[in-house]
Amino acid sequence: MSETANTPAPGKAPAKSVLFVCNQNAVRSPMAEALAKRHSKRRLFVESAGLIAGALDPFTVSAMAEEKIDLSTHKALTLADVDLTAFDAVIALTAESHAHLKKQKLKSPESLEFWPTPDPTDSEGNRNQVMDSYRLVRDHLEVRIADRFPF
């Protein structure tokens, strides 16, 4: 298999660049960015952004550290910080980001995908129960990324 191209998932074109977007670039999109980078072994250009910049969530850092991924230095980007037309795939992880992105100029209308992803910050309970919510989101994203970007 080529080192620079991936085989597309059914109905999707191969991508060389992907942007993950959520509301604050603090939980879901940084997870997706880090997982996609690891999965693609950096053969895919990956970034993440939010509608607004939020503070990195400590549970996100902990959940990713369990997978030996360090997100402690992640700096939140907003859509204003990126060129949307530079990405072959723009993946919205929230309904809000999807609605916003549908109104933006993208490389092509087909480049926008919507992967509804639960917000683990809504979880309640003790630390272990909250961490389980973050792990579920992390693991869900990892499977979606592997399915969409097979290398």
Cα–Cα distances in angstroms (integers) from residue 108 to residues 13, 54, 61, 86, 112, in the given order: 12, 28, 33, 10, 8
Query: What's 31's domain CATH number?
Result: 3.40.50.2300
| pLDDT above 90 as % of the chain | 87
Is residue 12, in this structure, part of any structural domain at all?
no
Is residue 127, in this structure, part of any structural domain at all?
yes
- The whole-number pLDDT of residue 24 equals 97
Look up residue 20 and give its amino acid: F
Residue 128 has pLDDT above 80, yes or no: yes
- Please compute the mean of the pLDDT values over residues 67-84 and round it to a whole number: 96
Residue 56 has pLDDT above 60, yes or no: yes
93-112, pLDDT tens digit by residue? 999 999 999 999 999 989 99
- How many CB atoms sit inside 10 A of residue 107's CB? 16
Is residue 133, in this structure, part of any structural domain at all?
yes
As for how many domains the chain has, the answer is: 1
